[in-house]
Chains A and B, each alone.
Chain A
Amino acid sequence: MGGAKTDIKLIDENGLRFDGRKPDELRPIRIEANVLKRADGSAYLEWGGNKVIAAVYGPRECHPRHMQDPLRAVVQAKYNMASFSVSDRKRPGPDRRSQEISKIISEAFEHVIFTHLFPRTSIDVYMEVLQADAGTRCAALTAASVALADAGIPMRDLVSSCAAGKVQDTIVLDLRKEEDNFGEADMPLGIVPRTGEIVLLQMDGDLTLEEFNKTMSLATEACHKIYELQKDALRRKYGVTDDEDVQESVDAVAESVPDRQEEAEEAFEDEQEES
């Protein structure tokens, strides 16, 4: 970012981009839920050249203990790029960038998770970028959101995320590496699609107000498309369908936790009465 000079023609005379996409076109996205056996919830996401795996553990006892909140759960997201995820080897371990991304992702999820239901606990979200091609924070947030739903964490809605920006004076959606490096602006956006609330918004580069509004609407529209893909991944995994025949067979498998459910409901009702 920062408009570094390049000879690469990022937008051609037909208005198409470096990889043949239209300015408002997303890269291909594939999401799969529940891919890790040992995690409480997990998801794998491929977004163009990005490959991200997310795992959720908890709500579980919060460590370090001084971080416990007696009234609610703490969301501890951890974003990490694998050393082999970029062409030049990345030095392993936390750095300023990954700490920043972890923080903003934690804050985004704190807005949608019903944290007050699990006091003194932590919900640990681990996101590992296996292959990076720009837009990894959006990819990580999208994957982690599916993983949280897979873990059965009560939340208001899924969080969807997508970036848009400006490349050679054209507003484009979902920038790839070359566009990110040599473009003029990049703006990752995370929203709660049901309500339209913004839970993550950053901007690198400069945009006029008009450009900002256009970028914003382009990214918002894309978030809604990604939301459908997230729901589709969960539907495929959990057999959430309107087809009654399929539903009956799924119900037969789902009979394993009825007693727990009753107890949880009673506790919930007690809490309601107390409050």
Chain B
Amino acid sequence: MSPLAETGQQFGVYIHIPFCTKRCDYCAFTTFTEYFHLRTDYIKACSAEIDLAAKAGMLRPATSVYVGGGTPSLTEGRDLALLISSIPKTTDAEITVEVNPESLTPDFCAAIQDTGVNRISMGVQSLVPRVLEDLGRPHYPGSVEKALELISQYNFSSHSVDIIYGAASETTEDLAETLDKVFAMDPGLPHLSAYALTVEQGTPLARDTRRYPDEDRQATFYGFIDEYLKTKGMTWYEISNWAKPSHACRHNELYWLGDPYLGIGCAAHGYIEGTRYKNTSSINRYLKMIGEGRLSRTQDDVITPKERELELLYLKLRTASGVPEKNLDFAEDLADLVRLESGKYTLTLKGRLLANEVAHRLSV
């Protein structure tokens, strides 16, 4: 089938749920606040897209499923459960659903757990009201604690919390407060993703230079987070991801190892048989095309073997597994950015923050 040697071990399915009650100021993902009434139709269309993909021979038993967004927890738990159950999966598949604290309900948890969802990823971003305001994200006092409690009640085998650091007004104390509170509520938290606030074109944040993050401070914060999480028994396995042993997110690892995945839903990306594609970002067009029995891909990008190798190196460089010695053209400037261990270069703490600089020296 594919002319490219994929590792073939893993196969992922990503489902995009593009609904939010409010758009956060930094967010550049495709989400809608005004098509809420379409959510049941939308999930049906996603099921239909899976059938279409299966007919086209693009579907294999999934080793991981990831339902992201948007805010998947805004949909009806039963609808989502039905969708997830329609995907062929391996017995040990990792099935993740992203949730927002304010919209997570017991019914939703029950419904998705029933269908085999075993991992929850919750967007917290910050627990300091001023920082949330700076991020242009609504604040729902008490919701994070309640949501973490629900997650523990329903006993998902793993879960994760996302935070965003480096908003213009955020201090080290603010960051410490967020982390302290998260671990006070959830002492056993097995996975955390910490993303540096990034200004994406076209967002309200991009238009407000006063709220631009300071990259130097973000670098300091990154070091702080890394140290902090060490004390909680977590180690980094990718630049923005830390986990306790055996809690790394397999779906994310699949991206970073260059394995294939099917993207389902409006604006979803997929990578099948050496081609990256993206579905249409218009929800109406998506519904219409799927309704007509057609896939809604808008751009196909065939990756040449050389491009693929470079992508893989770039992705691997971001992970704790590192890149082979021969693929990094070493310059003495990089001395404290990378470490050589058993034939592989991995990034040091300083290097993780300057990974682009290191990546410029990658060669295939």
Q: Do these two chains interact? A: no
Give B contacts to A, CB under 8 Å: none
Give A contacts to B, CB under 8 Å: none
